[in-house]
């Protein structure tokens, strides 16, 4: 994002304020960008100093006592969009990496994928055998308790199997597929940087003044020497930006956790959709029972039981929505 787009974005988001206030705020930020540009920093890097622009706008509006809170549905929809974009970007990286491979590399990738599928089958078989043997232990009376325990064991085995399978597939996608494209890009970038460095060194050697030539007056030698040193010194901002990029990179375990969390959230979202529909009918039934109880045709006990069920069901829905939306809803 350049300075013009940054200004347009702020004017659009701060349109609720007075025009004089908007101009004052934007001028302060534009002056900061100009100062950073004078230090040799690009506009994009200077704008990144402000952090997330949405958070910046919220802070500005909060300072002017403007309510920036969002409703639950907006937070929920924004998080769904974020996760969907993340998933589609991940798929796009995989597709680009596959299409950039040669025929031999494609054959190697297919063989590796088949081996991964065999490994997943072996892991699933081992987990199934272990869970089956554990469930056999609980074939005793009372039958109801044993059935609950077997159901929990089966659910845990499925969750464990799903987690391991997703972890292995995510590892294969990031380390064996996407990493190919990343390494290829890194090699090209390194070669460009090396060539650029060699060219800069040649230019430096070419234009380096000779010791025999007196280009500086004695009265201004110190000042001009400082100018020459400053002109030949590489500004550290670019190096700092590279360090920030390296520091912001996530480890494999963090990426693996986010990948598994994304899949689990999608599963919970698919479960929430029918639960919301059932919750609507449950709410209608609750209203009917309470109404009949008030007019004398219903049972107070049934109304209390249905009230408890309705509250527990609503609590489960709230927990599920908060989990999918990242826990940021009210």
In angstroms, the first-to-last Cα distance of the chain is 32
Per-residue model confidence (pLDDT) at position 219: 44
* Domains: count for the chain: 2
Mean pLDDT of the chain: 74
Assess whether pLDDT exceeds 50 at residue 287: yes
The mean per-residue pLDDT over the stretch 20-46 comes to 86
105 and 23 in one domain?
A: no
Q: Where a domain ends, among 141, 164, 197?
A: 197
DSSP label at 234? P
Going 25 to 28 to 29 to 31, the CA torsion angle's sign is positive
Q: How confident is the model at residue 176 (pLDDT cuts 50, 70, 90)?
A: confident
Q: How many helices (H) and strands (E) does the chain have?
A: 12, 0
Q: Where a domain ends, among 197, 227, 245?
A: 197
Domain of residue 35, residue span: 3-63
Q: Where a domain ends, among 173, 197, 221?
A: 197
Angle between helices 143-171 and 103-137 (to 10 degrees): 160
pTM for the model stands at: 0.40
Distance (Å, whole) CA 187 – CA 191: 6
124 and 45 in one domain?
A: no
Residue at 72 is within a domain? no
Pick 220 or 252 by higher pLDDT.
252
Residue at 317 is within a domain? no
The mean per-residue pLDDT over the stretch 283-309 comes to 79
């Amino acid at each position: 994002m350049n300075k013009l787009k940054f200004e347009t974005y702020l004017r659009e988001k701060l349109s609720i304020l007075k025009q004089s206030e908007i101009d004052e705020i934007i001028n302060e930020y534009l002056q900061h960008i100009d100062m950073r540009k004078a230090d040799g920093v690009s506009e994009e890097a200077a704008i990144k100093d402000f952090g997330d622009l949405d958070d910046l706008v919220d802070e500005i509006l909060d300072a002017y006592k403007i309510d920036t809170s969002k409703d639950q549905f907006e937070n929920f929809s924004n998080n769904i969009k974020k996760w969907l974009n993340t998933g589609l970007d991940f798929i796009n990286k995989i597709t680009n990496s596959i299409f950039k491979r040669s025929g031999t590399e494609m054959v190697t990738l297919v063989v590796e994928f088949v081996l991964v599928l065999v490994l997943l089958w072996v892991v699933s078989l081992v987990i199934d055998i272990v869970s089956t043997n554990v469930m056999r232990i609980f074939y005793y009376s009372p039958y109801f308790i044993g059935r609950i325990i077997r159901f929990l064991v089966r659910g845990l085995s499925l969750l464990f199997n799903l987690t391991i399978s997703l972890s292995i597939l995510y590892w294969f996608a990031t380390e064996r597929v996407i990493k190919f494209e990343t390494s290829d890009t890194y090699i090209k970038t390194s070669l460009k940087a090396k060539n650029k460095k060699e060219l800069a060194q040649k230019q430096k050697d070419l234009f380096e003044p000779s010791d025999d030539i007196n280009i500086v007056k004695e009265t201004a030698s110190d000042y001009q020497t400082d100018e020459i040193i400053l002109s030949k010194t590489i500004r550290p901002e670019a190096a700092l930006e590279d360090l920030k990029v390296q520091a912001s990179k996530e480890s494999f375990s963090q990426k693996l956790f986010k990948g598994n969390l994304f899949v689990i959230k999608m599963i919970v979202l698919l479960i929430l959709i029918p639960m919301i529909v059932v919750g609507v009918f449950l709410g209608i039934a609750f209203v009917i029972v309470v109404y009949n109880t008030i007019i004398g045709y219903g049972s107070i006990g049934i109304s209390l039981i249905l009230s408890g069920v309705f509250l527990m069901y609503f609590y489960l829905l709230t927990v599920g929505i908060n989990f999918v939306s990242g826990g940021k809803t009210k």
